[in-house]
Structure formats: structure tokens, C-alpha cells
Amino acid sequence: MGNARIITIILADDHTVVRAGIRQFLEKDGGIRVVAETGDGKTACELIQLHQPDLALLDIQMPKMNGLEVTRWLRKEGLQTLVLILSAFDDIPYVQAALKSGADGYVVKTADPGEIIRSVYRVFQGEKIISNAIQDNLVGQQRLQSDLNRAPLSLRELEVLSLAAEGLTNRQIAGRLEISERTVQNHMANIFHNLGVASRTEAVMKAISVGLIIGSAGKQNS
């Protein structure tokens, strides 16, 4: 790619085989070096703090902390590491959540290795990128932004509902997101109103049916 120096990367994905494959094709490129890898978000934070890499390549669904939580932590800490989300999901709400969390790019795992490598370079060079597979389903960047703005739930509401779909109680959701239980209750009330439902189960089922969130079974394959 003719880059002036090696791009250092922390790789985080909870599937060992997937992670090994990604690392293999990244390191075949002479301008990229994976300095460390992990299968969970908490360790990813520790590795980012330790190595101060140029870029963190993060799966969106990981144990302990997901890719979005790692991204928000990184921005809160003021670290300069760039973030490229690599996800199995091409749904608009996930792209929305990633960008609002502070990610610099979003690529689907079904992209060919060449696209992922190019995405690393483009993000490193200061571009904000979205996977070709997602853009192909939309009419340009303006259509994407319009769809994101029309999402019926806020980023935080999507997070709350996603955790509810995993079976977490309000107290557990509050602990995971580091907010009060009352705040979770308020979010749930807004979710019920915005989705036109009367119960937690209805909210989860409707959100899954229209593609706002992925059900727990689908998340296992991320």
C-alpha cells in the first residue's frame, strides 16, 4: 500500500478461528502488524492502553464488554487509537450505534480480505468508512444518514433493549451500562411508547421482527 510506516493493530474477536484467519491475512500485508489479540472487550481495553496501537479492529459482540462499549471507553479516555468495527451484522441500527459510539468505520465480516485491508488503510488515513455491502443496499451516503435519523429508538434505547433481549433484568442492565435502575425504567417506558407496545416481551419481539435488534440466538453467531 506504500504507507510511510507500519500500522499497528489490536484485534478483538471472540471466535478464535475467525480471529486467526483475520490476523493471517492482515499480516500478509507488509504495512500492517497485529501487536496483540484477544477474545473479550475488557482485555481489549487493557491491550489498547498497554500498546497504544494505531487502530483497534473490534467485533461488535464480545463477552465482558462489546465492541461499542470498548469504543466508548476509548473515546472517554481520550486515546488516539482509531476504531474499525468488524461485524456479522449489516443492519442500519448496528451501523448507527457504532458510528455514534465513536467508531471510525464499520465493515461486515463477509467482506473479502482485500476490502478489510483497504478499510484499515482508509481509516488510518482519516476517512470514515462503511462497508461496501451496506452501501450497496442504499442510495448513497445521504440515504444512509436519512435512514439512521429515522430510527425509532435512540442508541441508548437500542442498547437497553438489546440487553433485555438477552434476558437481563433492569438492575443487570443498569449495572452493565453504568446507569441507574430508574434510568433504565425510563428508557423502557420510552421504548414501549415509540414501538407502540405494552410489555417488555412485545418490545423485544417487535424490535427483532423489524430488524432493530438481533435476537439472542442470532448474536451467538456474530
- Domain end: 147, 174, 205, which one? 147
Q: Is residue 1 part of a domain?
A: no
Indicate whether 136 pLDDT > 70: no
**Do residues 44 and 137 share a domain?**
yes
The range of the structural domain enclosing residue 139 comes to 7-147
Q: Report whether pLDDT(38) > 90.
A: yes
CA dist., res. 143 & res. 129, Å (int): 15
Question: Do 123 and 159 share a domain, yes or no?
Answer: no
pLDDT cut 90: percent of the chain above it:
46
pLDDT score of 144: 47
- Higher pLDDT: 24 or 99? It is 24
pTM: 0.62
Question: CA end-to-end span of the chain, whole Å?
Answer: 30
Which has more pLDDT, 163 or 137? 163
- State pLDDT tens for residues 60-81: 888 888 898 999 999 999 999 9
Whether 15 and 101 share a structural domain: yes
Total domain count for the chain?
A: 2
- Verify that 24 and 127 share a domain, yes or no: yes
Interval 76-101 mean pLDDT: 85
With a cut of 90, say whether residue 211 has pLDDT above it: no
